[in-house]
Amino acid sequence: MTAKEDSALIFPCSFPIKVMGLAADDFDALVVALIRRHSPDLTEGAVRTRHSRRRKYMSVTVTVEAQSRVQLDDIYRELTRNDRILLAF
């Protein structure tokens, strides 16, 4: 099975990445900075943030124009290595 056959995604494609962590003023900027290392062409409208009901947690959804499965894997590895990020999916 080749890399193309191994994925249901057809690249390039628009791909949302959702990240959760404790709410902080700079959490969204941290997430964007980490993702931008692998997808430098993010646009302003690519980022959405949302707080939990009690505002303890924050989710940041960043939609990237994914070029390959390797790129997405690298993004997820970068995100999950960071101590401030609780979940990335």
Write down the pLDDT at residue 75: 98
Write down the pLDDT at residue 7: 65
Write down the pLDDT at residue 76: 98
| Residue 39, SS3 per DSSP | coil
Write down the pLDDT at residue 1: 37
Residue 15 burial (CB count, 10 A): 17
Write down the pLDDT at residue 43: 84
Kindly list the structural domains of the chain, giving each domain's residue range(s) and its CATH number in brackets, ordered by start.
Answer: 13-88 (3.30.70.260)
List pLDDT tens digits, range 9-34. Answer: 899 999 999 999 999 999 999 999 99
List pLDDT tens digits, range 47-65. Answer: 999 999 999 999 999 999 9
40 torsion bin: left (phi>0), alpha (psi -120 to 50), beta (else):
alpha
Cβ atoms of 34 and 42 closer than 8 Å: no
